[in-house]
Amino acid sequence: MIGMSEIPEENSSATWAEDDRIMPSPVGDEREVLVGLLEFHRRTFELTCAGLSQEQLSQRAVEPSTLTLHGLARHLAAMHRRHFTRGGRRWPGRGRS
């Protein structure tokens, strides 16, 4: 088994100087926990894409995959609309858009 000290640096998660994410609390009612996780991951994706050109956002992650950050952003937006709207109406208190 590989220890944490043996994992190559290039396999580590990115870090950002302007990282203002708030680590979500694992304690609370279901809504609080889910909203905290959603906000954390929204901000992580935002930081990941910040400063990238349209070309970089449209570059495939790994061949032969067609996954791109731009495609992932479109997917996330569609899922957000699907899960947080009903019949064109917004759910109350659904978090930030």
Asked whether residue 69 is domain-assigned, the answer is yes
| The predicted structure's pLDDT at residue 81 | 81
Contact 21, 47 (CB under 8 A): yes
Asked whether residue 35 is domain-assigned, the answer is yes
Q: What is the residue range of 71's domain?
A: 22-84
| The predicted structure's pLDDT at residue 31 | 85
Asked whether residue 96 is domain-assigned, the answer is no
Give the start-end residues of each E strand in the chain.
85-86, 89-90
Q: Does residue 97 surpass a pLDDT of 50? A: no
Model pLDDT for residues 36-83, shown as the tens digit of each residue: 898 999 999 999 899 899 999 999 988 888 999 999 999 988 888 887
Q: Which of 61, 56, 60, 26 is nearest to 40 (CA)?
A: 26
Model pLDDT for residues 22-37, shown as the tens digit of each residue: 888 889 998 888 888 9
Contact 30, 24 (CB under 8 A): no
| The predicted structure's pLDDT at residue 54 | 93
Q: Which of 95, 51, 56, 87 is nearest to 72 (CA)?
A: 56
What's the number of domains the chain is made of? 1
Question: Parallel, antiparallel, or unpaired: how do β-strands 85-86 and 89-90 relate?
Answer: antiparallel
Asked whether residue 11 is domain-assigned, the answer is no
Asked whether residue 45 is domain-assigned, the answer is yes
